[in-house]
Chains A and B, each alone.
Chain A
């Protein structure tokens, strides 16, 4: 049974990855080829030639068309075939599906599902990633695990203490109680952990220059199925935002993940770290890029192991949930509901 949530926007790539080379991505099991036209528009087409299924991503981009690398069927940006070899008549059905695409906040989003619903569904926002007031480092790590394991992982940051000690984890993360809120109509899960007086982990000490203990807030906003935002705020102990909402004496880091299922057992783990301090300091950028990538790979390693264990187990194993899982449980429930809504065979079940 598929857990995929269709009729949604998913991050397929960073805008910087899509250019005049053909890029292959598999999203929710659908092979897609991405490229950019001469005028800069990003295009996403099904990555299988209608003739004999050769991957278009292994083919050639000629001007704005793809010429199949096997027998030369040629496709325009809308997926319609504009030329076939040896004959003038182009079969009426010679076309590959094209996907709605939106470029926003440094991401290339593609719509998976009923294209008619794309225009009325807003693309989730992560505005910091394209905001000149922030400096951003980012990457993407392929994960050999189902997307739900990454959702579980990100919704419960108490694991930082155990899996990411020496980087972002300190004892206080796991010790501090969380507050969780869910808005079903808006489709958002919020998990807040505010540490008033805590050790400063290297990730923040090195990047901000803060020495000594800090106030550290972690406020998670998950917009299922794809976009995860962690609003991270660090400041010297006791420094709080002003009553008017301004917060000049704190350091803000917006950590963004896009969780894009590739197949049932693999996921694209897009990660970005945007900061509102030391924006021009290349050393800070290098440090945060390397540290965050290390942290992401620690998760990737753990989740790859977990996927193998789960895949080999009979279905229906009994988990045990405790307080730290409150947010993750809420996220799972919304995802399950969305999967049912996008799958006509499951409605009402």
Chain B
């Protein structure tokens, strides 16, 4: 169901939290604006984890903030 028209990033703010329901699974993938990621089956638990930023409980945080040029172009 999710092909060429699948949305990528939608909101343009600097501190956007994102939850993708992984196609073909029952899993949700949460991504914090700091780059930390976690998969979960329960949206309540996943939001709690996302909101705990910067305390992501040992998940290695890979900073993947957009490059300054991308932000400037908005």
Give A contacts to B, CB under 8 Å: 172, 175-186, 188, 190, 192, 194-197, 215, 217, 219, 240, 321-323, 325-326, 329-330, 333
Contact = CB atoms under 8 A, between A and B. Distances in A.
Contacts of A321: 42-44
A321 B5 CA distance: 27
Residue picked from A178, A181, A195, A330, most chain B C-beta under 10 Å: A181
Contacts of B43: 321-323, 325-326, 329
A178 B22 CA distance: 9
Interface of B: 1-7, 9-11, 13-23, 26, 28, 42-44, 46-47, 51
A159 B39 CA distance: 25
Contacts, number: 86
Contacts of B5: 194, 196, 215, 217, 240
Nearest to A187: B13
B18 A180 contact: yes
Contacts of B42: 321
Contacts of A196: 1-5
21 contacts: A179-B6, A179-B7, A179-B21, A181-B9, A181-B10, A181-B11, A181-B19, A182-B11, A182-B16, A183-B13, A184-B17, A185-B15, A186-B11, A192-B7, A196-B2, A196-B3, A240-B4, A240-B5, A321-B43, A325-B43, A326-B21
Contacts of A215: 5
